[in-house]
């Protein structure tokens, strides 16, 4: 959609904290993820409708406003949930490690990988195989033209923004058992999200996936091997991609 | 020697060819007209010559020097100048500042970051504006002057650079009859040693200005020759005058 | 004339103002250099950078580390910090300027995040979240007034040189690349190189502000390299009015006053900062200086 959005880290964190509160009422992580995602999606929708809409084409404005909201969200989370990290328990049936061919894998992490692949496939099908997806792609490619043939572009964009925000929120809940909810989670997530997008290419789902896997691997090994230089290692592949493939690995647009 | 030679140029946009295998030779001092219906690829051809767009294949040769791999600004320093079909000026600045930026493009001064902007540059800019009859508007902002005046500023910006090859992309588009006459005079007054290649999609308006004419259709050269030859050619009639 | 009056006012200020205000003024000066250097890119080059804290932070850290770890004096550490940071700007410019617009913004952000993350994690070198303490000021400028004069002189010189830059033929070319990059290259200007040189120049002035920053605080923390710091600089430029000479200075004063005053009364500085971002972008997109000028003109034409 080509909107510069810096709230993603904050929405992720908001999701994680909402997850904490929902889990107190209903001890089911998946329900919490769903509800947290919906709540964050609703917030994202309001943000798009009432503020970002007015700033179409004004990249700098979008950046500053989304950054402003990121600060507000982070600060309010601090007010509501306090400054101490709050762990989110791993669902019981996934607490045992998974043993395959003599190796032990943490079952929850495996479940998260499976889930993210499923979500990715669902998004792919949505974008490539459905009428809705076709309309969204048309809107992104050429807004004027899409409008001219009667596609409700602005409604669609709100919807897409909600979807993105919702996924970030749900992601926060699901990431909870691994990372827990703490102040500064937003700042830790944002660069990761940025790298994934730049690496994979703006506007490409396959790119986002490849990007996130590469980032994940590099980050994990990098942190294990050279903890001080984790960020340098993390950003190296990105710089490489930009130097040799400005459109990202799969992207249609230059970043 | 040719002033401008194009060899087998190709360019396509997302698989759709806009220029296919165009070869062309323009002699020094020649007045060449390129005509063709809307979407024939005329502007794209200019963009390939100037380097605004990267070509897919083929070569651009300027005064026997292959400039295909040079960046647009390097081609300008070898004597190539152009105007745009869609007016591309600096809207917040005055007319004289627009021309001054053009003069600056070829001046060593442009890298000087420590002396203040030279009043001499404006003096020279006003002289250029005088050539196109706009000196009285020198201190006006671009946004405040009429469309016809902007068209003349477009041309003045290119002329200010004293080019050896000048590419004019529909310099008469959107002008009234009187304005057309002035701009035509302006073009006619360009010194003979400058090679002029001009695009026009309306054949009748510019026929009298050309020595040789190239007809472009679907990205290909279909007819090329003197004015009489081109007008007489049945293919011209078919694709261009026919409808 | 006006400038002379302003100069007198500024020179006389420490004689009348209390220490708190003199220090606040020093901070405004330092932040004004930082904001003005961002304005070179944003206001005159049309390049929105979200990583300018890199230059401030790296210069500050370099100077601090050279002093602490190698025991070098300021007369070596300062030039070395400026040079090193400027070289880094050369390299970062090569990377970031592969894109413009949103891509440029993301790249500057990403590059600065590398430095921020490294400063946090490379505890052996930077002492991470604790920051580096025990730093000194050059020339023993330890009382508020003498540091004030030092900062004032440095700021006046910096702003003057940046104004020269903007008013030069090169500055005119830079503004041209902001408004009509394609036309600029069709006129023979090397758009990329113009942007790169400006990027490096802005990085240099960012480094100057970083030196003054670390001299003032005698302390440096990774937060100086953070996105928040870059964004506050950007906010100052936009609040004051980008692409104007006075804008960043006014904006720097606004942000610093908000930060020092309001944060004393309101605990939620971050919420306030966020709201200020939103309000300024939505309601005063052209900035305070042009905004006030416009209102004044409307007022003047009515009477
Ligand atoms: N940047 C671009 N991206 C995609 N397609 C383009 C681009 N520029 C031109 N085209 C396409 O290439 C074809 C040739 O366009 P071009 O502008 O060269 O035509 P033209 O002969 O100048 O027409 P006109 O008389 O309308 O100016 C058109 O079909 C146009 O849609
Ligand atoms: Mg055209």
CATH of the domain at B14: 3.40.50.300
Residues 219-238 of C with CB under 8 A from B: none
User: Is chain B in touch with chain A: ≥3 Cβ pairs within 8 A?
Assistant: no
Nearest CA to ligand 1 atom 12: B18
How many contacts, defined by CB atoms under 8 Å, are there between A and C?
130
- Residues A98 and A116 placed together within one structural domain of the fold: yes
Q: Which domain holds residue A84?
A: 8-183
| Residue B154 belongs to some domain of the structure | no
Contacts of A22 (CB under 8 A, 6+ apart): A31, A32, A35, A36, A173
Residue B41 lies in a domain: yes
Q: Calculate how far, in angstroms, residue A255's C-alpha sits from the geometric centre of ligand 2.
A: 28
Within-domain flag for C13: no
Q: Are residues A127 and A169 in the same domain?
A: yes
Tell me how far the alpha carbon of residue A120 lies from the centroid of ligand 2, in angstroms. Answer: 43
Residues A179 and A193 occupy one common structural domain: no
Residues A49, A34 share a domain: yes
Average pLDDT over residues A84-93: 75
User: Among residues C126, C159, C135, which one has the least CA distance to residue C31?
Assistant: C159
Would you state the pLDDT for residue A255? 35
In chain B, what residues touch C168 (CB-CB under 8 Å)?
A: 112-117
Smallest Cα distance from A52 to chain C, Å: 10
Ligand closest to B42 (CA) is: 1
> Per mean pLDDT, which of B86-95, B130-139, C83-92 is the most reliable?
C83-92
- Overall number of domains in chain C: 1
Domain membership of residue C237 (yes or no) is yes
What is the pLDDT averaged over residues B196-209?
A: 80
Q: Between chains, do A228 and C268 touch, taking CB under 8 Å as contact?
A: no
Quote the ligand 2 centre to C90 CA distance (angstroms).
Answer: 39
Q: Indicate the residue of B72, B84, B104 with minimum beta-carbon distance to C172.
A: B104
Q: Is residue B42 within 6 Å of ligand 1 at its C-beta?
A: yes
Q: What is the pLDDT of residue B132?
A: 87
Q: Does A194 touch chain C (CB under 8 A)?
A: yes
Is A80 part of a structural domain of the chain? yes
Query: What pLDDT is recorded for position A246?
Result: 57
8 Å CB contact of C48 and A59: yes
What is the rounded distance in angstroms from the CA atom of residue C70 to the CA atom of residue C159? 32
pLDDT attached to residue C283: 75
Is the pLDDT reported for residue A253 higher than 50? no
The best mutation among B15, B39, B47, B55 to test binding of ligand 1, ranked by most ligand atoms within 8 Å of the C-beta, falls on: B39
B217 lines ligand 1 (CB under 6 A): no
Instruction: Indicate whether A40 and A160 sit together in one domain.
Output: yes
Percent of chain A's residues with pLDDT above 70 = 67
Res B89: pLDDT: 92
Asked whether at least 3 C-beta pairs link B and C within 8 Å, the reply is: yes
Best CA proximity match to B146, nearest among B190, B185, B89: B89
pLDDT of residue C193: 95
Domain count for chain B: 1
The per-residue pLDDT for A254 is 40
For B156-174, write each residue's pLDDT tens digit: 999 999 999 999 999 888 8
Distance, in Å, from the CA atom of B198 to the CA atom of B166, rounded to the nearest integer, reads 8
Q: How far is the CA of B39 from the centre of ligand 2 (A)?
A: 7
User: How many residue pairs bridge chain B and chain C with CB atoms within 8 Å of each other?
Assistant: 93
Decide if pLDDT at B121 tops 90: no
Residues A179 and A200 in one domain: no
Contact between B105 and C183 using a beta-carbon 8 Å cutoff: no
Residues in chain C where the model's pLDDT stays below 50: none
Mean pLDDT of B46-75: 92
| Model ipTM value | 0.89
pLDDT of residue B37: 85
B116 CB less than 6 Å from ligand 1?
A: no
Would you say residue C6 lies in a domain? Answer: no
Pocket lining: B219 vs ligand 1, CB cutoff 6 Å: no
Residue B38 Cβ < 6 Å to ligand 1: yes
Same domain for A206 and A161, yes or no, is: no
Centre of ligand 1 to C-alpha B45, Å, is 9
Whichever domain contains C94, its CATH number is 1.10.3470
Closest CB from C167, C179, C201 relative to B116: C167
The average confidence (pLDDT) of chain B is 88
Residue nearest to atom 6 of ligand 1 (CA): B13
Q: Of residues A99 and C174, which shows the higher confidence score?
A: C174
Instruction: Assess whether A171 and A210 both reside in one domain.
Output: no
Give how many domains chain A has, as a whole number: 2
Q: Is the CB of B174 under 6 A from ligand 1?
A: no
Ion ligand 2 nearby residues (CB, 5 A): B 43, 85
Domain presence at residue A1: no
What pTM, to 2 d.p., does this model score? 0.87
The average pLDDT across B15-44 equals: 90
| CB < 8 Å to C117, chain A | 191, 230-231, 234
Report the pLDDT value the prediction gives residue B176, as an integer from 0 to 100: 86
Check if B114 contacts C (Cβ < 8 Å): yes
Residue A69 pLDDT more than 90?
no
C167-186 residues touching B, CB cutoff 8 A? 167-173, 176, 179-180, 182-186
| Residue-wise pLDDT tens digits, A195-233 | 666 665 555 555 555 555 565 555 555 555 566 666 666
Q: What is the pLDDT of residues A24-53, one digit of tens each?
A: 787 777 888 888 888 888 888 888 888 777
Residue nearest ligand 1's atom 2 by CA? B13
Question: Where is the domain boundary, A183, A212, A243?
Answer: A183
Residue closest by Cα to atom 4 of ligand 1: B13
In a domain, residue C185? The reply is yes
Q: Is there a domain that residue C285 lies in?
A: yes
Chains C and A touch (3+ CB pairs under 8 A): yes
Q: What is the domain range of residue C198?
A: 20-302
pLDDT at A217: 59
Task: Determine the structural domain holding residue B13 and report its residue range.
Answer: 4-89+162-241
Query: Is residue A2 situated within a structural domain?
Result: no
**What contacts 24+ positions apart, CB below 8 Å, involve A121-125?**
A123/A205, A124/A205, A124/A206
Asked if residues B188 and B20 have their Cβ atoms less than 8 Å apart, the reply is no
- Does residue C14 fall inside a structural domain? no
Query: Does residue A12 have a pLDDT over 50?
Result: yes
Closest-CA distance, A69 to chain C, in angstroms, reads 6
């Amino acid at each position: 959609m080509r909107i510069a959005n810096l709230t993603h880290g904050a929405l992720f964190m908001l999701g994680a904290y909402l997850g904490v509160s929902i889990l107190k009422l209903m001890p089911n992580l998946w329900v919490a993820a769903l509800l947290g995602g919906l709540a964050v999606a609703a917030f994202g929708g309001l943000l798009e409708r009432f503020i970002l809409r007015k700033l179409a084409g004004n990249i700098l404005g979008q950046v500053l406003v989304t950054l402003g909201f990121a600060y507000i969200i982070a600060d309010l989370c601090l007010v509501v949930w306090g400054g101490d990290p709050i762990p989110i328990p791993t669902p019981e049936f996934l607490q045992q490690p998974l043993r395959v061919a003599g190796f032990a894998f943490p079952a929850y992490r495996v479940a998260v990988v499976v889930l993210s692949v499923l979500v990715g496939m669902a998004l792919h099908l949505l974008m490539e195989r459905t009428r809705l997806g076709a309309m969204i792609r048309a809107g992104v490619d050429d807004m004027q033209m899409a409008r001219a043939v009667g596609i409700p572009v602005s409604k669609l964009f709100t919807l897409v923004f909600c979807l993105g925000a919702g996924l970030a929120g749900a992601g926060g809940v699901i990431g909870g058992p691994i990372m827990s909810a703490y102040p500064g989670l937003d700042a830790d997530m944002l660069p990761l999200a940025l790298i994934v997008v730049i690496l994979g290419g703006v506007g490409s789902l396959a790119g986002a996936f490849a990007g996130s896997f590469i980032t994940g691997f590099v980050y994990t090994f990098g942190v294990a091997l050279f903890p001080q230089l984790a960020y340098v290692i993390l950003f190296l592949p990105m710089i490489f991609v930009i130097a040799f493939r400005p459109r990202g690995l799969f992207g249609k647009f230059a970043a | 020697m040719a002033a401008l030679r194009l060899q087998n140029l190709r360019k396509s946009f997302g698989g759709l060819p806009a220029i296919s295998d165009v070869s062309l030779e323009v002699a020094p001092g020649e007045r060449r007209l390129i005509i063709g219906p809307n979407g024939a690829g005329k502007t794209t051809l200019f963009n390939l010559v100037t380097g605004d767009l990267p070509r897919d294949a083929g070569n651009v040769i300027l005064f026997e020097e292959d400039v295909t791999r040079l960046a647009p600004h390097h081609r300008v320093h070898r004597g190539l100048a152009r105007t745009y079909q869609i007016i591309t000026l600096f809207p917040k600045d005055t007319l004289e500042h627009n021309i001054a930026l053009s003069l600056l493009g070829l001046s060593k001064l442009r890298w000087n970051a420590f002396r203040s902007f030279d009043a001499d540059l404006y003096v020279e800019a006003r002289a250029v504006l005088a050539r196109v009859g706009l000196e009285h508007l020198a201190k006006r902002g671009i946004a405040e002057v009429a469309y016809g005046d902007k068209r003349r500023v477009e041309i003045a910006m290119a002329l200010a650079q004293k080019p050896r090859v000048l590419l004019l992309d529909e310099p008469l588009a959107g002008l009234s009859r009187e304005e057309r006459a002035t701009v035509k005079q302006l073009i006619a007054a360009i010194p003979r040693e400058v090679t002029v290649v001009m695009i026009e999609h309306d054949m009748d308006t510019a026929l009298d200005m050309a020595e040789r004419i190239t007809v472009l259709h679907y990205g290909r050269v279909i007819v090329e020759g003197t004015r009489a030859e081109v007008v007489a050619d049945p293919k011209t009639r078919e694709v261009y005058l026919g409808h | 004339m006006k400038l002379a009056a302003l100069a007198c006012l500024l020179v006389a200020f420490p004689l009348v103002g209390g220490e708190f205000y003199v220090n606040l003024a020093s901070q405004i000066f330092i932040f004004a250099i930082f904001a003005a250097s961002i304005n070179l890119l944003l206001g005159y080059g049309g390049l929105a950078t979200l990583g300018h804290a890199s230059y401030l932070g790296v210069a500050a850290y370099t100077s601090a580390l050279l002093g602490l770890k190698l025991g070098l004096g300021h007369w070596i550490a300062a030039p070395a910090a400026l040079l090193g940071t400027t070289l880094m700007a050369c390299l970062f410019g090569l990377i970031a300027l592969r894109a413009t617009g949103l891509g440029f913004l993301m790249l500057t952000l990403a590059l600065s995040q590398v430095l921020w993350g490294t400063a946090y994690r490379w505890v052996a070198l930077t002492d991470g979240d604790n920051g580096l303490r025990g730093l000194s000021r050059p020339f023993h400028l330890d009382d508020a007034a003498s540091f004030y004069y030092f900062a004032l002189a440095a700021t006046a010189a910096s702003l003057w040189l940046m104004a020269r830059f903007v008013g030069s033929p090169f500055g005119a070319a830079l503004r041209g690349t902001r408004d009509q990059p394609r036309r600029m290259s069709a006129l023979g200007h090397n758009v990329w190189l113009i942007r790169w040189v400006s990027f490096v120049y802005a990085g240099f002035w960012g480094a100057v502000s970083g030196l003054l920053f670390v001299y003032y605080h005698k302390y440096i923390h990774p937060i100086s390299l953070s996105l928040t710091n870059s964004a506050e600089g950007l906010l100052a430029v936009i609040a004051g009015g980008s692409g104007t000479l006075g804008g960043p200075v006014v904006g720097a004063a606004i942000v610093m006053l908000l930060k020092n005053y309001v944060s004393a009364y309101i605990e939620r500085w971050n919420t306030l900062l966020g709201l200020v971002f939103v309000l300024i972008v939505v309601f005063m997109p052209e900035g305070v200086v042009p905004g006030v000028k416009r209102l004044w003109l409307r007022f003047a034409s009515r009477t």
